[in-house]
Copies of this chain bind each other. A is one copy, B any other.
Amino acid sequence: MTGRGPRGERGEQADKILAAARRSIATRGYTATSLRSVAQDAGVDPGLVHYYFRTKPGLLEAVMEPPEAFGAAVAAAAEQPIHQRGRAFVQANLRLWEDPAAAEILRAIILTAAQEPAAMKRLRQLFSQLVLAVVSHSLTDDERNLRASLIATQIVGLVMNRYIWQVGDIAVLPADAVTDLLAPTIQRYLADPLPTTLGDRPTPR
């Protein structure tokens, strides 16, 4: 139809490519996503993908780039007074995942993490940014990492079952019910005394 040369405003094609790539990686996975299919989904010439993102890992990097102030609401939960912080944290995470755009990025990262070091790096970074924050205020230093890890454990399990695999009752319950069910656990991991069975300090790496 139209010939060569630029069209639309600057970065418009790049955005279409990025959106198509995110959708594909978040559903089919990174290795199963071909640049040709991405270009086709975006309605764009395959060469453009290389023009804007150089290589396939370059595309992945862009796909995983969180938008500005990503998860600010989750970080805000960390400011709550400690006795209601657990519940606030669960709520914030649910809201984050209920947003399709954010969920797509997170899904892409999670699906790719086990196979691509770059994705694993992003995942670790998000953990530090989101989970460690909730625990960093008003907690002693030696327990901080352990409590963060415990919280991550419960949140990740929720995410996998509800949003990634969509398995079990937890996947179909309304968000409020999920909050009521999981908030107590998070709160315990956050502030309740930990078992002292195996050495008082949690043997960090």
Contact = CB atoms under 8 A, between A and B. Distances in A.
Copies of this subunit: 2
Contacts of A195: 180-181, 184
B167 A29 contact: no
A198 B174 contact: yes
A204 B169 contact: yes
A160 B152 CA distance: 10
A36 interface: no
A156 B161 contact: yes
A165 interface: yes
Nearest to A153: B157
A120 B111 CA distance: 14
A155 B176 CA distance: 22
Given A29-B114, A114-B111, A152 B161 contact: yes
Contacts of A198: 174, 176-177, 180
Interface stretch (A46-54, A76-84, A141-149): A141-149
Given A154-B157, A167-B152, A185-B154, A203 B173 contact: yes
B172 A148 contact: no
Contacts of A171: 149
B204 A165 contact: no
Given A32-B31, A167-B123, A203-B173, A150 B115 contact: no
25 contacts: A32-B115, A111-B115, A114-B164, A127-B167, A146-B169, A148-B168, A149-B168, A149-B170, A150-B170, A152-B170, A153-B160, A154-B154, A154-B185, A155-B157, A157-B160, A169-B205, A172-B203, A173-B203, A176-B197, A176-B198, A177-B197, A177-B202, A181-B194, A181-B195, A185-B188
